[in-house]
Structure 1
Amino acid sequence: MRSVLITGTNRGLGLGMVKYLTEHAKPSKIIATCRKTSEELSKLSEANKNITIMHLDVTNIGSYGEFATQIAKIVGNQGLNLLINNAGVTTKFTKLGLVKAEQLMDNLTVNTVAPIMLTKSLLPLLKQAADSNSGLPMGAQRAAIVNMSSILGSIAQNKDGGFYPYRCSKAALNAATKSMSLDLKKDMILVASMHPGWVNTDMGGKNAPLDVPTSVSGIFKTIDNLGEADTGKFLQYDGSELPW
């Protein structure tokens, strides 16, 4: 892949993705977006000239048009090969009697609405990448969208209830992924939802059994192996398929 755009890269999983790409895949352009640049991300960018940090508040949907224009200048006529919608929020421990409307709206805005609308804004660049690699099979080598979801968005796997804002937002993201996969199949753009595992980050918490490097390594190995038959699937970081 020549160009990758990842949202939410100032810490946690997103930062781990940027690190992995600089050490392993080494695409010519890594576009790392965040609301506020962390010191660690800044140091990575200083040490790797192929990283471009772009400030993006995913809740500011009105800024997406100008953002897409800026990305077009960075990627040039080769387009954008891989979009990873990673930025997310969670509201924990929300049983029905305690859930608040603003929690639901915040989670839906960041975890569902933002990935859909950002994908819409960047779609011409993804199509450009797919067209410029028309001799390659469908997959991440051409153009792909990976929506970072969660097992908590699986309706079939919900055995415990609660988590209304987060569960609902990720289930909705999964529905969007399926629709995108159907809508964009003719354009040879692959779309998949991915569960990174329960990862030890600020969001996942200290009790999470999986570290960031293990999760990220699995994510990119899975992305590298994606093919036409995988579009529209809900996958775990290790490549195993999850139930909706």
Structure 2
Amino acid sequence: MPTVLITGANRGIGLEFARQYTADGWDVIATARRPDDAGELQQLGPDVLPLDAANPASIGALAKRLAGRPIDVLIANAGVYPQGLDADEWSKAFATNCIGPTLLARALLPNVAASGERKMVATSSRMGSIADNDSGGAIAYRSSKAALNAAWHGLAIEFRGDGVTMAVLHPGWVQTDMGGADASIAPETSVSGLRRVIAGLSLSESGGFFAYDGEELPW
């Protein structure tokens, strides 16, 4: 039975990841900042562990708790969407959207390298693409995701010798609390597509940037 670790699994895309992987018989480890408040996630039955994705100490505590446990697929999904250019919110976005996932990947490298699948992915966004930005706006969010893309591309190079495949993924504009009710696709559609992309990833594609429908995106 393969194991998947999903951060930010208490709602939206993360919750749908947990739902689909659980339904397919995977051993699911899910994280949330406040597991006791993640009622819908708890009902699915996975291990629900505490994690503040922006807190290095919390990341270290999770890694210690999971020491020696192989993780086939790591999905660094937790993220925030800052409003405006408030300096504190912008810094929080970098901590949650870039620094946290990068520290998590490094902390759990032994777990993933010891598994059969050996894959790590992070939820990014097409809005993190510099080449694809024709509309401007959302500078804090865009810059935090562009930083994530750069950091994980660098990790992919470092981790190649461990046989670990890494990618950053665009889930589409999804009908979640973050995406809003007017978004174009349902979480089920997004996550089904993302899972197909993850399943098909090979080491030769490590460091890539892909959409939920398999399209390779520009940096």
TM tier, shorter chain? Answer: over 0.9
Q: CA deviation at 1:60?
A: 2.0
Kept in 2, the 8 Å contact 1:104–1:164? The answer is no
Partner of residue 86, structure 1: 77
Task: Give the whole-Å Cα distance in 1 for the aligned partners of 2:203 and 2:167.
Answer: 11
Task: Give the whole-Å Cα distance in 1 for the aligned partners of 2:58 and 2:124.
Answer: 24
Kept in 1, the 8 Å contact 2:164–2:203? The answer is no
Is 1:58 matched up with 2:56? Answer: no
Task: Give the whole-Å Cα distance in 1 for the aligned partners of 2:8 and 2:21.
Answer: 15
Which of 213, 218, 222 is the aligned partner of 2:193?
218
For these two proteins, the number of residue pairs brought into alignment is: 217
The more displaced of 223-232 and 148-157 is: 223-232
CA displacement, residues 40-95 of structure 1 (integer Å, 9 cap, x when unaligned): 111111xxxxx21101111221122221121126x3xxx11111000000024x3x
Is 1:9 matched up with 2:15? Answer: no
Which of 163, 169, 178 is the aligned partner of 1:194?
169
Which of 135, 139, 144 is the aligned partner of 1:160?
135
Partner of residue 236, structure 1: 211
Partner of residue 183, structure 1: 158
Is 1:149 matched up with 2:135? Answer: no
Partner of residue 30, structure 1: 28
Gaps of 5+ in 2: none
Q: CA deviation at 1:18?
A: 0.5
The one-letter code sitting in structure 2 at the alignment partner of 1:31 is: I
Q: What is the alpha-carbon root mean square deviation over aligned residues?
A: 1.3
What is the TM-score of this pair, normalised by structure 1? 0.86
What's the % identity of the aligned pairs?
41
The one-letter code sitting in structure 2 at the alignment partner of 1:8 is: G
Which of 173, 179, 198 is the aligned partner of 1:204?
179
1:93-172 paired onto structure 2 within 5 Å: 94=84, 99-129=85-115, 133=116, 142-172=117-147
